[in-house]
Structure 1
Amino acid sequence: MYAEYLLLENFIINFIILYVTKRFTRTDTSNIRLIISALIGAIYTLLVFVPSLYFMSNFIAKICISILLIIVAYNPIKLKKFIKLFTTFYTVSFVFAGGSFALFYLTNSRIYFGKGIFYIRDIAGFNPGFLVVGIIISLLFFKIAFQYIYSKLSKQNMYINLTVKLQNKKTKLKGLVDTGNSLMDPITNIPVIVVEFSAIKEILPISIQEIFTRYSENDLNLISEVMYKEDEILKFRLIPFKSIGMDNGMLLGFKPDEVILESDEDRKISNIVIGIYNNHLTKDNDYVALLHPEIIN
């Protein structure tokens, strides 16, 4: 076993795990923090082989190191955010470890397990491509598992309050995360939140409000008049969609200044499009917006 290989392997894997954790939890942090945290984790794998530091391989030490890595990488302020990062970090780690271990087993690679760490015994005969394939397979399994679990969540847990801001105006809405909403803006390829016109009209220009009040959904007169009246401040775009009984529907959408998803730790989104639905999304008015599932991933 060569120390430099062990250090490099663990640094790369640690960085990927930390990066995937960042993406899945939507945590705002820099790559520099991830690199430093990944390096600390890689150095730890070397320390456990020092006889005088054998105690570093016990369960409590590993938990403490994990906590240190999360603090260095993400600097979570709230306990709930830390718990979310901690659980996601370990979930990703277990998936990566399982995927890589299974691949090594299937390819008859010689690996060694000791002091709570497994590593490649014969580094000279190891093909780095195996590690890359293992990571890709693990990512695919993780994404599939995440989507499956997410689809099983009850609607109650999928309700989200949000605030839409536009030109110094704002409105608060109750939205539903809709796994069937795959609408993307065809121009910028960013997710679309479908919102009832009645819920969003107060922040729209008066001239636009009047047009939507006169016409019904998917009306060509509405589309042509809005596109004619648009100005440089608020540019509309056409969003094609399909629904029951309508194969070629068309929504008018615009890019708000900001959307805030309300929770224990509010999250601001600027790269989003609001699609205006000139009708009701539900009969009982439980919600007035349909959120793209990618927004909360």
Structure 2
Amino acid sequence: MRQVVYIDEVLIVNLAMNLTALWLTSRFTGNERSFARMLAGAAVGCIYAFLVLWPGFTMMLHFFAKILVATLMVVIAFGFRSWRKFIRQLGYLFLSSFCLGGIATGLHYLWHTAVIDLENKLGLGEFNKWAVLTATILIAMFLGHWGVTGWRKGSAQIATKIPLTITFWGKKVSVLALVDTGNQLIDPLSQHPVIILEYEVLKCVLPEELYGAFGEGTGNTILAVSNTPYANRVRLIPFQSLGQDHGMLLGIRPDEVEIQVRDTPQRVTNVVVGVYHQQLSPEQSYRALLPPRLLVS
């Protein structure tokens, strides 16, 4: 029996699976990801799949060729910062690919009801590849979103103090932050997690227009900064605490936050800094509260 391979289907399936594998890799490693860069990395995998099917390119099946292609995918999608990060990303890419392949194979067998005999060899009959592909990606997205979030929370070290370096308009401030599992604050506008920081630490890096405004209270601050270039960075974050059911916390979006996780700097930009006007620790052993979801074990 002659087997027909449709190149367009191969490329579409490979692009979708490669993109999903790179997305899972970014979730597990906590790297900032650009969709365009991940798409370019996935396209490299598609080119590889095309060459494998092309006559005369059997050398692409070699073990080292596969490693080279995976390396290119990682570098294109996430860049190269250090060997440690690169090897970690490469490992998670292979792990994600194996998981996706296992899910797709399991769904393939689960949905089959017919078995055919091809020249005395048992095999599976026709199947809906698009249904398998869609279900595989949906399962991967579920695991990548909720699974990784739960894994990070479980692996976060409770009551651990971690060094932070927060950058505002090019100025840096370094503090010790307590990993606080009770800090589940979310900026309602961007849905980014919130780091709580003492105002006394923050005020030394604030622009002159914000220095006084942030010490006046929530309502006055919004009015004071509304006509300044910094208005788009100011946030209002709702919170609940003992004795205060509908509180509002002032927040500000930083340039970036560098978290020192196990001697490895992790840079985060999708975060908001909430301003707290009292001391977080009576002994001043820490000056910020860090949500566990920002940690990557």
Name the CA shift for 1:159/1:41 in 2 (closer, same or farther; >3 Å).
farther
- 8 Å contact 1:238–1:250 — kept in the other structure? yes
Moved more, 86-95 or 201-210: 201-210
Q: What pairs with 1:85-234 in structure 2 (closer than 5 Å)?
A: 85-108=89-112, 122=125, 125-153=127-155, 154-155=157-158, 159-166=162-169, 169-204=171-206, 222-230=217-225, 231-234=227-230
For residues 170 and 65 of structure 1, what CA distance do their matches in structure 2 show?
Answer: 39
Q: Shift of the alpha carbon at 1:8? A: 3.5
For residues 52 and 285 of structure 1, what CA distance do their matches in structure 2 show?
Answer: 64
For residues 129 and 86 of structure 2, what CA distance do their matches in structure 1 show?
Answer: 36
Q: Shift of the alpha carbon at 1:179? A: 4.6
Q: Shift of the alpha carbon at 1:241? A: 0.4
Q: Shift of the alpha carbon at 1:79? A: 0.3
For residues 189 and 149 of structure 1, what CA distance do their matches in structure 2 show?
Answer: 20
Gaps of 5+ in 1: 113-119, 214-220
Calculate the TM-score normalised by the size of structure 2: 0.73
- 8 Å contact 1:192–1:275 — kept in the other structure? yes
Calculate the TM-score normalised by the size of structure 1: 0.73
| Map of 1:217 onto structure 2 | none
| Map of 1:260 onto structure 2 | 257
| AA aligned opposite 2:236 | L
For residues 11 and 214 of structure 2, what CA distance do their matches in structure 1 show?
Answer: 62
| AA aligned opposite 2:106 | A
Tell me the SS of whatever aligns to 1:170: strand
The number of equivalent residue pairs is 276
| AA aligned opposite 1:40 | I
| Map of 2:281 onto structure 1 | 282
Q: Shift of the alpha carbon at 1:246? A: 3.1
For residues 57 and 271 of structure 2, what CA distance do their matches in structure 1 show?
Answer: 54
Name the CA shift for 1:121/1:15 in 2 (closer, same or farther; >3 Å).
farther
Q: Shift of the alpha carbon at 1:240? A: 0.9
Gaps of 5+ in 2: 117-122
Tell me the SS of whatever aligns to 1:290: strand
| Map of 1:246 onto structure 2 | 244
